Every structure is written in structure tokens, then in C-alpha cells.
Amino acid sequence: MANKTACVRWVDGKAFETQTGSGHRGWIDAFPKEGATSKGPTPTELVLVAVAGCTGIDIVDILQKKRLDVTGLEVRVNGTQAETPPTVYTELDVEYIVRGKNIPAAAVEQAIQLSEEKYCCVGIMIGKTAKIKSRYQIIAA
């Protein structure tokens, strides 16, 4: 697999403009002081987004390969960080909300297990420091 690249450029305060090797641009910033605004999410918030996105892609892919009628997926991730530096994530709670017609619970459970144990590299990396708990619900659509 090819190497990935990312670059950040300091703009002002604690805000940085970001650019990925694939050409996507964005912002990262620190939590704003009271009354101030920020230009973007914090790096640690982006870690949660990366976990949710990585596993979400896996879940949709796996369920579609099973030819299931998935009409929606939402992945919510709540992280707890250590209190002292380095403030790594120590716990993640991942909730999968699957929408579709006739989606078997066993298929969702298998998809989550495959993502968490084999495919989602971001979650597997974070799992080196954090205990990851997951749960799901299926909403008939």
C-alpha cells in the first residue's frame, strides 16, 4: 500500500489549514476560549471522526456484499481521554445505528466484528490504548 501524506500550515492562534495527499483541505484548531470561535475541529476530535468513518465504510461495504437492503448508517463515537499527558483515548463507546429492510442482527454483529478485528485500521490503532465497546440498533426503514 502506498504511503499517505498530510500537511498542516499554521494560520494564526492555534489554527492550522490542512491538506491531504488526496487534495482535500480543511482546518484544525484548539478548543476556543469562552466567547471565541474556532476554525475547525481539534485533532483529537478528528481521531473520533476517523474511527467512525473507517468502521462505517466497513459496515456498509460488508452489509451490501451480503446483499442486504441497507438504507442508512450512523456511527456515533464517544471517547474518554486520560487526564494527564499524553491524553490518549482510554475508552471509546461506538454506537451503530443501522437502517434498512429485513436486516438480520447476526449480519450486523458479524460486520461489526470484522470491522473491529480485521478491517478498520484506525480503530485497531486506537485499540492499542483504548478499550473499545460497541453496541448497535437496527431501525426498520
pLDDT tens digits, one per residue of 70-81: 999 999 999 999
What band does 35 get if pLDDT is binned at 50, 70 and 90?
confident
Domain locations in the chain?
A: 1-41, 43-140
Kindly report the number of other CB atoms within 10 A of residue 137's CB atom: 12
What band does 86 get if pLDDT is binned at 50, 70 and 90?
very high
The secondary structure element, H or E, covering residue 58 is helix 43-65
- Cα gap 91→93, rounded to integer Å: 7
- Mean pLDDT throughout 40-59? 97
CATH 3.30.70 fits 1-41, yes or no: no
What is the predicted pLDDT for the residue at 104?
98
- Cα gap 117→134, rounded to integer Å: 12
What is the predicted pLDDT for the residue at 1?
62
What band does 36 get if pLDDT is binned at 50, 70 and 90?
confident
Residues with Cβ within 8 Å of 105's Cβ and at least 6 positions away in sequence, in order, are 138
Task: Assign a CATH topology to domain 43-140.
Answer: GMP Synthetase; Chain A, domain 3 (3.30.300)
Q: Where do runs of H (alpha helix) occur along 8-138?
A: 43-65, 105-114, 121-126
